[in-house]
Structure 1
Amino acid sequence: MKSLFLTLFIGFSLWASAQNKITGTVTDTNNQSLSNVIVSLPEIHKETITDKEGKYGITNLPNGTFTVVFSLVGYTTKTGSITLSGKEIQWNVALEESIIHMDEVIVSTAFNKLQSQNVMKVEHAGLKSLQQKGAATLIDGLATIPGVAQVSTGTAIGKPVIRGLSGNRVLVYSQGVRLENQQFGEEHGLGLNDAGVESVEVIKGPASLLYGSDALGGVLYFNPEKFANPKEFKADFGQRFFSNTLGSNTTLGLKTSTENWKFSVRGSYNTHADYQIPDGDRVTNTRYNETDLKSGIGYSNSSFSSVLRYNFNKLDLGIPENGIAQQSTSHNTQFPRQAVNNHILSLHNNFYFKNSKLDVDLGYLYNDRSEFEDSNVANLHMKLSTLNYDLKYYLPKTGRIETIVGIQGMHQTNTNSGEEYLIPDAQTNDFGIFGTANYEWGKNVLQAGLRFDNRKVTTEEHGIEGNEGYFAAIDKNFDSFNASLGYKTNLAQDFTLRLNIASGFRAPNLAELTSNGVHEGSNRYEIGNADLQNEQNLQTDLNLEYKSTHFEVFANGFYNHINHYIFISPNGNVIDGNNVYDYVQENARLYGGEAGIHFHPHPLDWLHFTSSFETVIGQKDNGDYLPLIPANKWNNTFRGEFNIKNWWKEGFATINIESTFAQNNHSAFETRTPDYTLINLGLGGKISLGKSVFQLNLNANNLSNKTYISHLSRLKSDGIPNIGRTFVLGISFMI
């Protein structure tokens, strides 16, 4: 730790005192001023927007060479490189119209490149676009992204699935730090609220090079909402209503900034009754209530920037055990229920030197999870404390080569105070060191990296040997070397190829190593295995994309081989009426991909048609199918965009037809799931009534009130359908 402080002190002494500034005007190709153009320097997290005359200005910039990005919906994103050395630079830019897409800066990958420059295909979705689809929760919105699904328990609990992998195989990042919330549990959801989230990035494939253990299947990276621009004060209010669950979601946000300081705070409250199935019955105790608070404070100057964020999330969740029983529209949860308090504190620092940069991310997470069976005394009470650190040093650029070296680590403790134990008291310590380089020439980009990780797990003995709930003490080390290699090129104008080969790993979690008892909600007696090895995978990805003014097409294919895949298997014994399952390992493979088009016909400039298909097959080496593999899905959307005079702007109307195929490739412990088709409608835009301006969204999901059961629903074994028809009304406005 002393060496870290010494490094930072030396860095402070080397800072330059230059006050660089960029100003200019942004127009279209007809020399007409463009307002609300986002002008950003992603490498140093600086951003502003153009005013009504198309003018912009960014101050307090460090010395060095940086990429500047100009982006506006409906226009081609423009980038350029600029060298700052203690003076003001004027830069005027003209943007060309491009109806179909806007290039995005990808934060979750190593070098924060634009998607068009990135060697890896990363899905990027703004939360506003997900909410326009009528999603009730954050995980509902994520499940509309090709290659992403969810394992759900009613409407309250959802766990992300990326190309057939879920649980501890998918890593979630929020506020720049890894989310740790006992995600091994089947009844443990994402635990994040969409309020105060700007966008999400999805890495579909092993990302252990940057993120270490648990990123074997992919990463969900949530970007927090941006601060206000300098000298601005903004306040907004949003309200959504959900007919099916008689639910509501309320949010209020405030933010302001000076040239150096930034402040934000947002609170939200989410409440839902039991969800209703198409025949009119409600699924008992699927109700839930959620309180969420997010706040942030930032400071930046020409040499340094720092952002401190805090998120408190409180969940009161009903656990459905009796299926369709007592009918009620109450929002008060019954027994059994969960109470989860989650705290995330993160500190993100950037230190700018003459030709290099140091990023220091620190995070502290505290997850307090209680389960109440039949009284207000918790049967199960787990407290998880996690301290994360992540240091990345961006070396001075050498010719066309950019290089990053870094270290990451985690110290985690789990303690129990209830009568029941799912996992023992334990400590987990991670340490990783890595390096990665990016080489760009012409229309080609090559990126490679190497990493070493160590995870140490120690647990305490608990209980009486030979009895249920006994945990033997373990002291285990898990080591892994991983590498990645990616290549991107333009085969022709507007035609891009990306090829990536990467390895990843996942150390066994505490439940897999130590379980000895009936797992809540599973109705099975699970026995862990302290001799489990790392899961180690190697995945190959191929991405082809063609983008023109009026047409896009993409095809993504992958093959993922996993050594020592961990799963549970019945051993034929029965304890207290529950079948006994062991945690075992076997090699496995997953393969499939996504393909789609986006067509914007000319001269029907108001019309968009998108279509995507996704498929994944998961098998063990003996040919048996893996559990929890999502069914093939075909998604089609017609979207019309319009303006009605001056009172309805940015208007849209959508018709979505979501066809899910029958899942016949199920594991031995699952059953076949029939096919189904859902029809969803959407309408919205920015409406002006006098001096009042508000954003309106109206959705009708499952319009035909189709009775269906998702293959990944945990209520499927009880024959309980998913949610029926629901109308969603959302209104938001600036105060």
Structure 2
Amino acid sequence: MKNTILYILLLVASFTYSQNTLSGKIISENKSPLQGVAVHIIENNSFTETDIYGNYSLQNVPKGTITIVIYLYGYEQKTEKINSNQTTIKLDFTLAEKEQHLDEVVVSTSFNKIQSQNVMKVEHQTVKQLQENGASSLINGLSSIPGVNQVSTGASIGKPVIRGLSPNRVLVYAQGVRLENQQFGEEHGLGLSASGIESVEVIKGPASLLYGSDAIGGVLYFNPEKYAQTNSFATNVNQQFYSNTQGTNTSFGFKASPNNWKLLLRANYNSQADYKIPTGDHIINTRSIEKDLKYGIGYANSHFSTDLRYNYNNLNLGLPEEDIENSGFRNPLFPKQDIDNHILSLNNKIFFKNSKIEADFGYIFNNRKELESIDEIALHMKLKTANYNIKYYLPKWKNLETIIGTQGMHQTNANFGEELLIPDATLNDYGAFITTNYEWNKNAIQAGVRFDKRNINTSEHGVIGEEGYFEAIDKQFKSFNFALGYKTNLTEKIISRINLASGFRAPNLAELTSNGVHEGSNRYEIGNQNLKNEQNFQTDINLEYSSEHFEFFINGFYNHINNYIYISPTQAMIDDNDVYEYLQSNASLYGGEAGIHFHPHPLDWLHIRSSFESVTGEQENGAYLPLIPANQFKNNIRTEFSISNWFTKNYFFTQINYTFNQNNVSAFETKSLDYTLVNIGFGGVIKLVKTKFNVYLNANNLLDKSYIAHLSRLKNDGIPNMGRNVILGLNFDF
């Protein structure tokens, strides 16, 4: 017995402390060592940088086949796949000077390919890039990506729109888990702060194969901030000032990675006053106060890694309405929302010799209050969601990679306020899928199938025949879906992709059960218990050309949706409110995006970018779908230079964005006029003694243009969007 216990202890010790080490040297073509080269292992997201001698070292390298990405601005990027089952690995690199954009690693499509290898076209932007380009908020920054827009209520509430599909048709992932925060509501925003988010990936098109219901229109996948490099620590302070709202945003972060452990802490405070329109007037009660706190603790060795993260977000924001008596400056007035959002996530990876298991577990608690006065809580909903996502990466066979996975979700909604938008309910999801990726020469094909089942049970509430009555329901929705994609390098510089995929969305509680006045839209909404799954089929074609000094892309899509759910006026009225009901009809959306990036030689400091995006949405009877963004033509001219030794990596840009008329409107929308916005920005890195920090100064809507975006919910009240807004940002790394 003693020998058995001793054997187990020795086995555990070897499992815990045995480490694979990767090290080497990186030099230029003229044999000079390169400092600051990033060395990134995709499988466990560990990274380091070379020292002044070009040397690097990484411990806790995962077992099995790993992908190493090497990159330094101004040099070619290299990607290497190696087998790391040996204890010590030596790997040197020689990099050639080359004007090349980073070929990002895509996390949201499971196989973790770099963009040029990926079968699906995925947009990738870092939060730093979005902020330097003038983003005043996270969702505002996303709307600069071709094909992505937002439905906004003032400056604080924004809901993502991907190629004309929004609310529950776009799935949001944060910290590796599905985000659930009553997103069906028109006045319910993302509930995420840009602080502590590293980057965002956007899948444009049905992603039900990987994510299940509600990914019928696409996915926003937010990657959290990375931990510090191994055996190091870092402190960061970020400060922003906004002229239009007299707002401030302060973020403080600390992270450390001693040996196998990783720690992270970030706190953020954001305060915005009412926004100002070009006439000089302020839109009363568009103010907000946001507090955000993020923790992270991780552990990794060569056999496994674990990452536990927690995010608390409190958002206190005003809801603009008529006849609000102005008082104070920043504190939101009534009516207002007070929202607590908790996200707890646990990511685990277990590495075997030639395979691995990845398991994500999440718990989200959304505590949402809508207050009419200090004594009246009109709405109070508590949404609790537990979910899991488990994937097994089978051993690679020749060039064939396969993943099998299962996902599930248990969710409860409980009401405590005077009014009910949706009844108390319980929702259970289950899904299982298999997907395969096969590569040969310069080609890749990816395919997969999936089955999902969703059960929805609600409680009866109220008096039959009266407003606010909810009949108890017990519904089950099922769906099979598939995806098939092919990528090929037509030439060394041209990549072509074609993807065929189906997706589905089960009707949400509001669509099934509504029976009352929705204060956010001032209409009496009636649900429909007979609604079926939305089921879609999309064809997506992508063509890209990339050379050292010129790039272009063109994306085209056609998306057919059976049983598209929409809300329609009935011509009836209840208590002076127009009555709307939820109906279904087949629909189609089609359009695409195209763009260029030109940085001519020898003027490598000059970058010219232009893009055009268009989407049209129609029902089978020819009527237009609601909330379809207007066509847009975006242009950006950017110069890069260094002013002096103490002020380097400077840039200056001018954006001229033209939004076309939107005349293709639904039965309860009005047409929108065209407008042109001009934005400028300037920034760089300042070095003072031993202190180094980034600074940027942006002016959005420089000409103080008065306009109303088609997707603004304040449009019906004739309220323009924000006027000129100057943003000053400072970012200190210690």
Cα pair 2:17 2:301 within 8 Å, conserved: no
In 1, Cα distance between the equivalents of 2:422 and 2:528?
Answer: 13
Give the alignment of 1:403-442 within 5 angstroms: 403-442=402-441
Helix, strand or coil at the partner of 2:377: coil
- The answer to whether structure 1 residue 171 and structure 2 residue 171 are counterparts is yes
Question: For residues 282-312 of structure 1, what are the alpha-carbon distances to aligned partners after superposition, in whole Å with 9 as ceiling and x for unaligned?
Answer: 0110000000001100000111100000000
Cα pair 1:213 1:504 within 8 Å, conserved: yes
Cα pair 1:281 1:327 within 8 Å, conserved: no
- The answer to whether structure 1 residue 636 and structure 2 residue 635 are counterparts is yes
Helix, strand or coil at the partner of 1:717: helix
Count of residue correspondences: 725
In 2, Cα distance between the equivalents of 1:642 and 1:254?
Answer: 31
RMSD: 1.5
Output the amino acid matched with 2:538.
Q
Extract unaligned runs of 5+ from structure 1: 1-10
In 2, Cα distance between the equivalents of 1:219 and 1:415?
Answer: 27
Give the C-alpha shift of residue 41 in structure 1.
1.7
In 2, Cα distance between the equivalents of 1:58 and 1:100?
Answer: 25
In 1, Cα distance between the equivalents of 2:708 and 2:576?
Answer: 27
- The answer to whether structure 1 residue 369 and structure 2 residue 341 are counterparts is no
Give the C-alpha shift of residue 44 in structure 1.
2.9
Partner of 2:5: none
Partner of 1:533: 532
Give the alignment of 1:281-680 within 5 angstroms: 281-322=281-322, 326=325, 330-680=329-679
Question: For residues 593-622 of structure 1, what are the alpha-carbon distances to aligned partners after superposition, in whole Å with 9 as ceiling and x for unaligned?
Answer: 100000011111211111111000000011
Partner of 2:195: 195
Extract unaligned runs of 5+ from structure 2: 1-10
In 2, Cα distance between the equivalents of 1:420 and 1:45?
Answer: 46
Question: For residues 698-720 of structure 1, what are the alpha-carbon distances to aligned partners after superposition, in whole Å with 9 as ceiling and x for unaligned?
Answer: 00110000000000000001111
Helix, strand or coil at the partner of 1:418: coil
Helix, strand or coil at the partner of 2:139: helix
Give the C-alpha shift of residue 327 in structure 1.
5.5
In 1, Cα distance between the equivalents of 2:541 and 2:555?
Answer: 6
Give the alignment of 1:201-350 within 5 angstroms: 201-322=201-322, 326=325, 330-350=329-349
Helix, strand or coil at the partner of 1:388: strand
Which range moves more in the overlay, 70-79 or 584-593?
Answer: 70-79
In 1, Cα distance between the equivalents of 2:430 and 2:721?
Answer: 42
In 2, Cα distance between the equivalents of 1:472 and 1:361?
Answer: 35
Give the C-alpha shift of residue 275 in structure 1.
0.4
Query: Residues 14, 385 of structure 1: CA spacing in aligned structure 2 closer, same or farther, 3 A cutoff?
Result: farther
Query: Residues 328, 708 of structure 1: CA spacing in aligned structure 2 closer, same or farther, 3 A cutoff?
Result: farther
Helix, strand or coil at the partner of 2:130: helix
Output the amino acid matched with 1:435.
I
Output the amino acid matched with 2:670.
T
In 2, Cα distance between the equivalents of 1:695 and 1:258?
Answer: 27
Output the amino acid matched with 1:334.
L
In 1, Cα distance between the equivalents of 2:42 and 2:262?
Answer: 17
Give the C-alpha shift of residue 688 in structure 1.
1.2
Give the C-alpha shift of residue 97 in structure 1.
3.0
Give the C-alpha shift of residue 133 in structure 1.
1.7
Give the C-alpha shift of residue 329 in structure 1.
6.7
Which range moves more in the overlay, 127-136 or 265-274?
Answer: 127-136
Question: For residues 201-225 of structure 1, what are the alpha-carbon distances to aligned partners after superposition, in whole Å with 9 as ceiling and x for unaligned?
Answer: 0000000000000000000000001
Partner of 1:732: 731
Partner of 1:7: none
In 1, Cα distance between the equivalents of 2:733 and 2:109?
Answer: 33
Partner of 1:155: 155
Partner of 1:56: 56
Output the amino acid matched with 2:314.
K
In 2, Cα distance between the equivalents of 1:55 and 1:569?
Answer: 65
Give the C-alpha shift of residue 569 in structure 1.
0.7
Cα pair 1:525 1:579 within 8 Å, conserved: yes
Output the amino acid matched with 2:500.
I
Question: For residues 617-660 of structure 1, what are the alpha-carbon distances to aligned partners after superposition, in whole Å with 9 as ceiling and x for unaligned?
Answer: 00001111100000000110011111123111111111011111
Give the alignment of 1:709-728 within 5 angstroms: 709-728=708-727
Output the amino acid matched with 1:51.
D
Partner of 1:47: 47
Query: Residues 17, 730 of structure 1: CA spacing in aligned structure 2 closer, same or farther, 3 A cutoff?
Result: closer
Output the amino acid matched with 1:506.
R
Cα pair 1:180 1:365 within 8 Å, conserved: yes
Give the C-alpha shift of residue 16 in structure 1.
9.3
Give the C-alpha shift of residue 322 in structure 1.
1.4
Query: Residues 506, 13 of structure 1: CA spacing in aligned structure 2 closer, same or farther, 3 A cutoff?
Result: farther
In 2, Cα distance between the equivalents of 1:280 and 1:329?
Answer: 18
In 2, Cα distance between the equivalents of 1:541 and 1:43?
Answer: 29
Give the C-alpha shift of residue 15 in structure 1.
5.9
Give the C-alpha shift of residue 83 in structure 1.
1.4
In 2, Cα distance between the equivalents of 1:13 and 1:502?
Answer: 47
- The answer to whether structure 1 residue 94 and structure 2 residue 103 are counterparts is no
Helix, strand or coil at the partner of 2:621: coil
Helix, strand or coil at the partner of 2:627: coil
Partner of 1:107: 107
In 2, Cα distance between the equivalents of 1:525 and 1:233?
Answer: 55
Partner of 1:76: 76
In 1, Cα distance between the equivalents of 2:123 and 2:56?
Answer: 29
Cα pair 1:16 1:62 within 8 Å, conserved: no
Query: Residues 14, 253 of structure 1: CA spacing in aligned structure 2 closer, same or farther, 3 A cutoff?
Result: closer
Taking structure 2 as the reference length, the TM-score comes to: 0.97
Give the C-alpha shift of residue 376 in structure 1.
3.7
Question: For residues 389-421 of structure 1, what are the alpha-carbon distances to aligned partners after superposition, in whole Å with 9 as ceiling and x for unaligned?
Answer: 010000001111000000000000000011100
Cα pair 1:658 1:679 within 8 Å, conserved: yes
Give the C-alpha shift of residue 326 in structure 1.
4.8
In 1, Cα distance between the equivalents of 2:198 and 2:457?
Answer: 38
Partner of 1:6: none
Query: Residues 554, 329 of structure 1: CA spacing in aligned structure 2 closer, same or farther, 3 A cutoff?
Result: farther
In 2, Cα distance between the equivalents of 1:151 and 1:661?
Answer: 17
Give the C-alpha shift of residue 33 in structure 1.
2.2
Cα pair 1:540 1:560 within 8 Å, conserved: yes
- The answer to whether structure 1 residue 134 and structure 2 residue 159 are counterparts is no
Helix, strand or coil at the partner of 1:255: strand
Partner of 2:118: 118
Which range moves more in the overlay, 345-354 or 69-78?
Answer: 69-78
In 1, Cα distance between the equivalents of 2:578 and 2:50?
Answer: 64
Partner of 1:3: none
In 2, Cα distance between the equivalents of 1:534 and 1:266?
Answer: 40
In 1, Cα distance between the equivalents of 2:415 and 2:35?
Answer: 55
Cα pair 2:568 2:667 within 8 Å, conserved: no
Cα pair 1:151 1:714 within 8 Å, conserved: yes
Query: Residues 158, 12 of structure 1: CA spacing in aligned structure 2 closer, same or farther, 3 A cutoff?
Result: farther
Which range moves more in the overlay, 77-86 or 269-278?
Answer: 77-86
Give the C-alpha shift of residue 377 in structure 1.
3.0
In 1, Cα distance between the equivalents of 2:601 and 2:427?
Answer: 58
Query: Residues 417, 328 of structure 1: CA spacing in aligned structure 2 closer, same or farther, 3 A cutoff?
Result: closer
In 1, Cα distance between the equivalents of 2:471 and 2:343?
Answer: 31
Cα pair 1:305 1:351 within 8 Å, conserved: yes
In 2, Cα distance between the equivalents of 1:245 and 1:157?
Answer: 15
In 2, Cα distance between the equivalents of 1:343 and 1:30?
Answer: 52
Cα pair 1:16 1:353 within 8 Å, conserved: no
Cα pair 1:282 1:328 within 8 Å, conserved: no
Give the C-alpha shift of residue 583 in structure 1.
0.3
